[in-house]
Amino acid sequence: MKMQRFLFFSLIAILAAVAGLFIFAGEETEQEAEKKSDSEITLFLVGDIMLNRGVEYMIEKEGKGDFRYPFLKIRDYLFPADLVFGNLEGPISDKGEKVGGIYSFRAEPEVKEGLIFAGFDILSLANNHLLDYQRIALEETMKILREGGIDYVGAGFGEEEAFSVKVKEVKDVKIGFLAYTNLGPEAWRARDNYSGIACISETDLPEIASGIKSAKEKVDLLVVSLHAGQEYAPEPTHFQREFSRAAIESGADLVVGHHPHVVQEIERYQSGWIAYSLGNFVFDQAFSEETMQGLLLEVIIKHGIIKEVNPKEIKISDSFQPYFEQ
């Protein structure tokens, strides 16, 4: 009997010790999680990235075919950020037939090497060039990015994917991304089991506001990208202002714009921020000083809240490489 009691209490002691280890481990995990949530998160957002035409020429001529070439001057600054976001202006594919106008873009599949090298984590595909070479090129773009470990938003193999929030979790903070464009034909809009992009019009604003509210419920911080406005215009259009402010009112924390190819104002609106146009990032529009520069928006996040928004001016070299002026 004594032996049975000894074995029984020994077993209890062992189980208690094991339980204590699990409790201790649990406490450590909670402390680590708390420490992570105290950490700052750095989010970089940049403007239009076009890797065809003159940029492709410079990759071959000056970069000797190195697809990392457009990002060589800025990669060391970009890469350490927790998240890097931009607008990809055109498909990455060698498939499809040109259906757009004279300004149609399609970059070689190998340009993904440069995007990975630069540290891009997520790209907007909601713009007026992603279907320049038919749906087959858009679909290949999505596959190539996915294979390269880069997320995309504002496009999809169906309507649900194109209009859904993409969530990136960093240091226990959930950061969501949505992207829309009001440029391009209605036929490019994604539909059920029909690949396309997140095309919207002014009449869609109530529906989009509802989608933004739903997305915000899933994340700590929400970023919305809008491809809209008038090319080379220094001021945002009525639609840009209306959409961006409605997005903030619906729960977005930050709205960033693309398409004008020049920098437009940054506005503090209610509890959020709006950067109406970040201008160009990698582009070959060497015909003006305004199109050969842009903004890198540095956003510092802590506890799931934007603490700082720091616009940093970048220049674009004659060989179409973004860089910081010394």
CATH number at residue 58: 3.60.21.10
* CA pair distance 148, 170, nearest whole angstrom: 19
What are the backbone angles phi and psi of residue 146, rounded to the nearest 5°? Answer: -60, -45
- Per-residue pLDDT, 228: 98
> Mean pLDDT over residues 42-66, rounded?
98
- Per-residue pLDDT, 301: 98
Q: Are residues 60 and 197 in the same domain?
A: yes
> Mean pLDDT over residues 80-105, rounded?
95
- pLDDT of 193 > 50? The answer is yes
pTM tops 0.95: no
What torsion do the CA atoms of 297, 300, 306, 308 make, to the nearest 10 degrees?
-70
Least confident window among 35-39, 130-134, 219-223: 35-39
- pLDDT of 125 > 90? The answer is yes
- pLDDT of 7 > 70? The answer is no
What percentage of the chain has pLDDT greater than the value 90? 86
What is the average pLDDT score of the chain? 91
Confidence of residue 162 (pLDDT cuts 50, 70, 90): very high
- pLDDT of 199 > 80? The answer is yes
What are the backbone angles phi and psi of residue 113, rounded to the nearest 5°? Answer: -60, -40
Q: Are residues 21 and 82 in the same domain?
A: no
Q: Are residues 54 and 5 in the same domain?
A: no
- Per-residue pLDDT, 101: 82
Q: In the structure encoding, which two tokens stand for residue 90, read together?
A: 């055109």
Domain count, the chain: 2
Q: Are residues 85 and 3 in the same domain?
A: no
Least confident window among 29-43, 61-75, 218-232: 29-43
Whats the size of the chain, residue-wise?
326
Counting DSSP H helices and E strands in the chain, the numbers are: 8, 16
Report the 10 Å Cβ neighbour count for 237: 16
Q: Are residues 34 and 144 in the same domain?
A: no
Report CA-CA distances (Å) from 275 to 27, 160, 237: 41, 27, 13
Q: Are residues 126 and 183 in the same domain?
A: yes
> Mean pLDDT over residues 31-38, rounded?
53
Q: Are residues 33 and 182 in the same domain?
A: no
* Strand ranges inside 148-288, DSSP E: 151-153, 155-156, 166-170, 173-181, 196-197, 221-227, 254-258, 266-269, 272-275, 280-282
Q: Are residues 219 and 306 in the same domain?
A: yes
* CA pair distance 228, 240, nearest whole angstrom: 7
Report the 10 Å Cβ neighbour count for 292: 21
The string over 93-126, giving b where at least 16 C-beta atoms fall within 10 Å of a residue's C-beta and e elsewhere, is bebbeeebeeebbbbebebbebbbbbbbbbbbbb
Angle at 161 between CA 44 and CA 254, to 5 degrees: 30
Which one-letter DSSP state was computed for residue 194? Answer: B
What domain range is 29 assigned to? 1-38
Pick the closest to residue 228 from 196, 253, 205 (CA basis).
205
* CA pair distance 215, 41, nearest whole angstrom: 20
> Partners of 299 in the beta sheet?
43, 309
Report CA-CA distances (Å) from 59 to 110, 148, 176: 11, 20, 33
* CA pair distance 85, 100, nearest whole angstrom: 26
- pLDDT of 21 > 50? The answer is no
Q: Are residues 34 and 64 in the same domain?
A: no
Q: Are residues 90 and 5 in the same domain?
A: no
Model pLDDT for residues 227-245, shown as the tens digit of each residue: 999 999 999 999 999 999 9
Confidence of residue 31 (pLDDT cuts 50, 70, 90): low
Confidence of residue 165 (pLDDT cuts 50, 70, 90): very high
* H or E stretch at 49: strand 41-49
Using an 8 Å Cβ cutoff, are 166 and 151 in contact?
yes
Model pLDDT for residues 242-299, shown as the tens digit of each residue: 999 999 999 999 999 999 999 999 999 999 999 999 999 999 999 999 999 999 999 9
Using an 8 Å Cβ cutoff, are 272 and 250 in contact?
no
Residue carrying structure tokens 């880069």: 150
> Mean pLDDT over residues 296-310, rounded?
97
- pLDDT of 188 > 60? The answer is yes
Q: Are residues 67 and 215 in the same domain?
A: yes
Model pLDDT for residues 102-121, shown as the tens digit of each residue: 899 999 999 999 999 999 99
